[in-house]
């Protein structure tokens, strides 16, 4: 950060342009997962636990190669397996590495009420700051990918950080480093998008996957994790990847119009009552009432 702010923008008495200008790009980082070359070895799962110092929990066997049904507060990277039968009767073994998608428009962040508990860095990484987390779980409601997980012991929520600590030091995330087939790539969003589209074109043109494509859902503003899929028209086949994810409409309603309506009503109500008191005051004092009803028997 400090190095970035001290980069020279204008320079006095210098022949030519600013030295080093245009040499560095502003990166939005991105992870590219090519599901067509994933072999399901789970090296990324192990690397994630290693680097992030996560204790291993019990696995759940469900007749597939999947380690457990879904990610956990201490298991941020999980390969989902699906045995898919194609129309021609042949079998496809679909494997998708699942983790936080690092949305450009993160629903978790929109729903979070705690000051500074969720941040999005300028490089696009969405990160939870557990010190500020109050454990309300609104992020769980805001996320369209079922990623944030609650730890009942610490009462805080955890998820993949895209190895923000490594990326900040110029390293690639631990999962990328561990991948033996090269199905995982890491770089700028532009580069990864280009690489992904090139691979999808290759699959369409040369590998008999006419529906191959890139998953970078616009409903959440695009994601910091993108996929190459054999069949981009049916992302649900890949462990329930939503075809059109977006921040839930009720969360948008709650954090948008309802909030404004509520605030205006509350402030308006207070002002209204105050003005009423100034205009009409308290209900008639007892002497006045007695005077009006003098001689009357109820």
Q: Give DSSP secondary structure letters for 145-193.
A: TS--EEETTTTEEE---TTHHHHHTTPPPHHHHH-SSS-EEEEEHHHHH
Element (H, E) at 200: helix 189-206
For residues 280 and 11, give the distance between their C-alpha atoms in angstroms, rounded to a whole number.
Answer: 68
Stretch that binds other proteins, among 22-30, 83-91, 216-224, 248-256 (CB under 8 A): 248-256
Q: Is 219 in the site for other proteins (CB under 8 A)?
A: no
Q: Is 158 in the site for other proteins (CB under 8 A)?
A: no
Among 136, 197, 237, 246, binds other proteins (CB under 8 A): 136
For residues 100 and 160, give the distance between their C-alpha atoms in angstroms, rounded to a whole number.
Answer: 6
Stretch that binds other proteins, among 26-34, 121-129, 169-177, 243-251 (CB under 8 A): 243-251
In the complex with other proteins, the residue whose CB is nearer, 61 or 249, is: 249
Stretch that binds other proteins, among 24-32, 58-66, 211-219, 277-285 (CB under 8 A): 277-285
For residues 71 and 69, give the distance between their C-alpha atoms in angstroms, rounded to a whole number.
Answer: 7
Q: Is 135 in the site for other proteins (CB under 8 A)?
A: yes
Q: Is 250 in the site for other proteins (CB under 8 A)?
A: yes
How many residues lie near other proteins (CB under 8 A)?
49
Can you give the length of the chain in residues?
298
For residues 191 and 64, give the distance between their C-alpha atoms in angstroms, rounded to a whole number.
Answer: 34
Q: Is 70 in the site for other proteins (CB under 8 A)?
A: yes
Among 55, 89, 281, 295, binds other proteins (CB under 8 A): 281
> Helices then strands (H, E): number in the chain?
10, 10
Q: Is 276 in the site for other proteins (CB under 8 A)?
A: yes
For residues 101 and 7, give the distance between their C-alpha atoms in angstroms, rounded to a whole number.
Answer: 31
In the complex with other proteins, the residue whose CB is nearer, 14 or 293, is: 293
For residues 86 and 92, give the distance between their C-alpha atoms in angstroms, rounded to a whole number.
Answer: 7
CA 142 to chain centre: 9
Among 75, 150, 158, 238, binds other proteins (CB under 8 A): 150
Among 16, 182, 282, 295, binds other proteins (CB under 8 A): 282
For residues 180 and 195, give the distance between their C-alpha atoms in angstroms, rounded to a whole number.
Answer: 18
Q: Which residue has the tokens 């086949």?
A: 237
Q: Is 86 in the site for other proteins (CB under 8 A)?
A: no
Among 285, 291, 294, 295, binds other proteins (CB under 8 A): 285
Q: Is 138 in the site for other proteins (CB under 8 A)?
A: yes
Q: Is 128 in the site for other proteins (CB under 8 A)?
A: no
Least distance between other proteins and beta carbon 184 (Å):
25
Residues 175 and 97: beta-carbon distance below 8 Å: yes
Q: Which residues lie near other proteins (CB under 8 A)?
A: 70, 111, 113-115, 132, 134-138, 140-141, 146, 149-150, 152, 155, 248-251, 253-254, 258-259, 261-263, 265-266, 269-270, 273, 276-277, 280-286, 289-290, 292-293, 297-298
């Amino acid at each position: 950060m400090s190095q970035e702010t001290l980069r020279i923008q204008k320079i006095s008495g210098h022949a030519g342009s600013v030295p080093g200008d245009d040499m560095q790009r502003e990166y939005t980082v991105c992870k590219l997962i090519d599901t067509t070359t994933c072999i399901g070895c789970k090296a990324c799962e192990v690397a994630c636990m290693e680097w992030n110092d996560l204790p291993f929990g019990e696995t759940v066997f469900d007749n597939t190669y999947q380690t457990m049904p879904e990610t956990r507060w201490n298991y941020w990277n999980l390969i989902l397996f699906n045995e898919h039968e194609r129309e021609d009767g042949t079998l496809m073994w679909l494997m998708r590495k699942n983790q936080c998608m690092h949305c450009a428009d993160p629903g978790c962040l929109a729903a979070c009420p705690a000051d500074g508990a969720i941040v999005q860095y300028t490089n696009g990484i969405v990160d939870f700051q557990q010190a500020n987390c109050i454990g309300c779980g609104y992020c769980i409601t805001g996320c369209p990918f079922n990623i944030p997980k609650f730890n009942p012991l610490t009462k805080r929520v955890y998820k993949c950080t895209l190895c923000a600590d490594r990326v900040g030091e110029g390293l690639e995330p631990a999962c990328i480093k561990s991948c033996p087939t090269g199905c995982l790539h890491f770089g700028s969003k532009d580069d990864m998008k280009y690489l992904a589209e090139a691979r999808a074109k290759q699959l369409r043109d040369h590998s008999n996957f006419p529906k191959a494509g890139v998953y970078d859902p616009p409903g959440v503003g695009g994601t910091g994790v993108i996929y190459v899929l054999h069949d981009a028209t049916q992302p649900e086949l890949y462990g329930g990847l939503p075809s059109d994810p977006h921040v839930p409409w009720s969360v948008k309603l709650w954090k948008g119009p309802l909030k404004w309506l509520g605030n205006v009503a509350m402030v308006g109500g207070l002002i209204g009552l105050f003005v009423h008191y100034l205009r009409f005051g308290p209900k008639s004092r007892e002497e006045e009432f007695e005077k009006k009803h003098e001689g009357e028997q109820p």
